Amino acid sequence: MATTDDGYMRFFPFEEPYDHQQEAMGTIYDALDEGRDVLFEGACGTGKTLASLVPALEHARETGKTVVITTNVHQQMRQFVEDARAITDQERLRAVVFRGKGSMCHIDVDYEECQALRDTTRDLVEVESDIAELEQREGELLSDGQAGSSEAMEARNAVVEELRDLQDEREEIETERSTCDHYYRNLTVDTSEFYAWLFDDVRTPDDVYEYAHQQGLCGYELLKEGMDGVDLVVCNYHHLLDPTIREQFFNWIGRDPEDIIAVFDEAHNVESAARDHARRTLTENTLDQALEELDSEEDARTDAAANVIETFRDALVEAYEDSFGFGGREAVDEHWDDITIANDDRKDDLTLAFLQGYTGPGFHEELDHALALGRDLDARYQEAFKEGDLDTRKECQTLQAAGFISDWLDETDETGQYPVVSVRRDESTDDVYGRAELYTCIPEQVTRDLFSDLHAAVLMSATLRPFDVTENVVGVEDPVTMAYGAQFPEERRRTYAVDGPALFSSERDDPQTQQRIARTLEDIVRFTPGNTLVFCPSYSEAERYHDMTAVSATRYLDEPGTQARDLREAFTDGDDGVLYTSLWGTLGEGVSYDGDDARTVVVVGVPYPHLDDRMDAVQDAYDVAFGDDEDDAGWRYAVEIPTIRKTRQALGRVVRSPDDFGARILLDKRYTEAAEMEMHDYAVRGTFPPGERREMVDIGPEKLKFAMLNFYQDMDAYDGPPPKP
């Protein structure tokens, strides 16, 4: 086991680590030395970030590697920057905080247009460089000629002719082709001052954007060019989870995958994030645009490409039109709504409609023609934009359509690939249109290659257990595992499992059940000396109990599709409020409610996600993949464990420091110990880690207010006389 004398302590920015933090650093350092991945669960206060980052930086320094720390939570990105700044104050680091191009571009163009602009700008700079060299050569030859050298004068005439051609080319680029002024300055001015500034501290993307803007530079491209061989990169999940972006990203760093140590924060989210990055879609609008594109082309392959694309387009329309019952089309709104097309005993409805509607020499042959034509058209559009014939870089719809159709017909039979059709209404035209989607059920199909290619990865979270499930789901092989529970004084927190109604979906509309829950929530809010957070199974349930509870506290309601930041700030600015939200919203994790920001947190019911066709497909895929290992693997992997992880994340929003205190309340009898015996098939207490189960206090709803009163009196939390029970 490593000790405080180990070299990695030079990267620890504080006086000394906690005992458990020291132990974790030693374990991680040894694992990295062996090239093994780490699954690291640590409750709030564990110091997970530094415990992971410090040994990773030391191992990387010793072996010539780069550490990449990544998250999908904006607040954590800011925390990483603060930690990196603290480290670099003590031990100098070359660190880069990287963000997507879209948020750093000064002229707001997409990636393809940016690529074409950069190509043309480089052409211009190269021509100008050649002109400068020839002008110097022409001057030298003129001097020699004036000194009497006829050979020099003859050579000068040839140089002047070449110079005129290059000047004409420069004029043509400047007047007829598109370039980027910011990137032009990157290529033509001394940027050493920028890099000296960049590595003098740990700069945020906003810092880089502002500095570059003032200097007329492209900060995004400067970052890319300055990342080669840096010690640390802070980035978003998609830089690692998207295979195409990942390859480019590693090229920018100048490292092969085996020279990367990746640290994933909030790693319980890797499963859903990988699934999102793997999903592929094709809309009816893109199919129509591809057909319009082909209609204007004169190419021997056009008819074949149009035939296969139009057949798929018609099959898509047939699939969703056949699903509409009476009034179904009229009920479609502006949100994508899934339609069931999968079948247990045969191919999906869209594929069947395509196969039945297709006529021709063979769709594989025609798809090959469509793909080849699409690639040619895409190359032509690239060149046209580069040459200035197009103002914007045109996307090849034929290539997009043909590529997706090829994947659809090849992959819908593969395990874990679930076919989906969705519909929505275009608000501008009031037309209904469809979308086909390939949905990846098992993220391990996306992440296994990543983890096997990296030197090692540390996956850290406050809710990563059960480790065997994480290991299976994301494809981590033979990891080192470790878990540290709550580090703050146990006497300063209470976790109550309330023997209230079991809020099954079938019971949620029962007026008596609703009244019991509302009255219990009223007691909770009344006896909380400060703010109360209420997490419900859905936004509609949050709205219901927001409306039903009669409390003197200020009520706040989080609603779907709205910016939650302003709501949270209003809530935390007060000291007697209650905020109702969905457990599956944005306020359940990655957001701290420190001290007086929130004293009590409540989870109402066991907030399982909406069980739709996609979730059924995920369960089926997990049953196939892991059913031999345990019964009900699909339900456990896909539904129960993610739900309990979200619940644990919500409970962790309060009690965020050793001096903090608060109550965490699970309002549903399925959390109680008695439920393990009385309703075993529905009880969920056993899914929590042992240490967290030990702290749960079973209590009846009528006694909860007395327990809260006693706890908060012990904490001397009431400013005046406590409420009367």
C-beta separation of 313 from 287 below 8 A: yes
> For residue 118, which amino acid is it?
R
C-beta separation of 31 from 52 below 8 A: no
Q: What pLDDT does residue 524 have?
A: 98
Token reading at 314: 């018609």
Token reading at 193: 């001052």
* Cis peptide preceding 466, ω within 30 of 0: yes
C-beta separation of 558 from 564 below 8 A: yes
Q: Place 3 in a pLDDT band, splitting at 50, 70 and 90.
A: very low
Q: What is the DSSP letter of 275?
A: H
Residue 391 reports pLDDT greater than 70: no
Number of other CB atoms surrounding residue 450 within 10 Å: 21
Q: Place 445 in a pLDDT band, splitting at 50, 70 and 90.
A: confident
Range 280-442: architecture per CATH? Orthogonal Bundle (1.10)
Q: What pLDDT does residue 704 have?
A: 98
Q: What pLDDT does residue 412 have?
A: 57
Residue 54 reports pLDDT greater than 90: yes
The 10s digit of each residue's pLDDT in 164-190 is 999 999 998 888 888 999 999 999 999
- Strand, helix or coil for residue 462: coil
Outline where DSSP puts E strands in 13-134: 38-42, 66-71, 95-97
Which residues on neighbouring strands pair with residue 600, listed in sequence order? 532, 663
The 10s digit of each residue's pLDDT in 651-685 is 999 999 999 999 999 999 999 999 999 999 999 99
Adjacency order of strands within the sheet including 532-536: 554-557, 577-582, 532-536, 600-604, 662-667, 493-498, 696-699
Contacts of residue 632, defined as CB under 8 A and 6 or more positions apart, other chains included, come to: none
Task: Describe the crossing of helices 397-411 and 363-387 by its angle, rounded to 10 degrees.
Answer: 150
Give the span between the Cα atoms of 491 and 296, in whole angstroms.
Answer: 75
> How far, in Å, are 358, 424, 436, 591, 602 from residue 283 at the CA level?
19, 10, 6, 35, 41
Place domain 7-106+192-277+448-483 in its CATH homologous superfamily: P-loop containing nucleotide triphosphate hydrolases (3.40.50.300)
Of residues 392 and 415, the one with the higher pLDDT is 392
Q: Place 533 in a pLDDT band, splitting at 50, 70 and 90.
A: very high
Give the span between the Cα atoms of 191 and 182, in whole angstroms.
Answer: 12
Q: What pLDDT does residue 629 have?
A: 62
Stretch among 286-300, 380-394, 709-723 having the lowest mean pLDDT: 380-394
State the pTM of this model: 0.89
End-to-end Cα spacing for the chain:
53
The 10s digit of each residue's pLDDT in 123-161 is 999 999 999 999 999 888 889 888 888 888 888 899 899
SS3 content of the chain, % helix, strand, coil (to 5): 55, 15, 35
- Strand, helix or coil for residue 425: strand
Which residues on neighbouring strands pair with residue 593, listed in sequence order? none
> How far, in Å, are 153, 352, 373, 374, 631 from residue 308 at the CA level?
65, 14, 13, 13, 44
Stretch among 141-155, 268-282, 653-667, 702-716 having the lowest mean pLDDT: 141-155
C-beta separation of 584 from 69 below 8 A: no
Token reading at 223: 């970052």
Token reading at 237: 């999940």
C-beta separation of 154 from 142 below 8 A: no
Q: What pLDDT does residue 77 have?
A: 85
694 burial level (CB within 10 Å; 0-12, 13-18, 19+): exposed
Q: Of 114, 89, 87, 90, nearest to 100 (Cα)?
A: 114
Q: Place 72 in a pLDDT band, splitting at 50, 70 and 90.
A: confident
Query: Can 7-106+192-277+448-483 and 280-442 be said to share one CATH topology?
Result: no
Domain spans in the chain, listed from the N-terminal domain onward: 7-106+192-277+448-483, 111-179, 280-442, 488-715
How many degrees, rounded to 5, is the angle at CA 623 between CA 621 and CA 628?
135
Average pLDDT over residues 6-20: 89
Average pLDDT over residues 531-556: 96
C-beta separation of 670 from 293 below 8 A: no
Give the span between the Cα atoms of 682 and 253, in whole angstroms.
Answer: 49
How many degrees, rounded to 5, is the angle at CA 325 between CA 321 and CA 327?
100
The 10s digit of each residue's pLDDT in 89-122 is 999 999 999 988 888 888 888 877 888 888 889 9
Contacts of residue 377, defined as CB under 8 A and 6 or more positions apart, other chains included, come to: 293, 297, 396, 398, 399
C-beta separation of 376 from 300 below 8 A: no
The 10s digit of each residue's pLDDT in 398-439 is 999 999 999 999 865 555 689 999 999 998 899 999 999 999
Q: Of 185, 85, 186, 55, nearest to 480 (Cα)?
A: 55
C-beta separation of 616 from 578 below 8 A: no
Token reading at 252: 């920018």
Q: What pLDDT does residue 2 have?
A: 41
> How far, in Å, are 22, 138, 297, 590 from residue 85 at the CA level?
20, 52, 56, 21
Contacts of residue 404, defined as CB under 8 A and 6 or more positions apart, other chains included, come to: 280, 281, 282, 436, 438
C-beta separation of 572 from 531 below 8 A: yes
Contacts of residue 586, defined as CB under 8 A and 6 or more positions apart, other chains included, come to: 564
Residue 511 reports pLDDT greater than 70: yes
Stretch among 175-179, 256-260, 319-323, 364-368 having the lowest mean pLDDT: 175-179
Q: What pLDDT does residue 417 have?
A: 83
| Class of the domain covering 488-715 | alpha beta
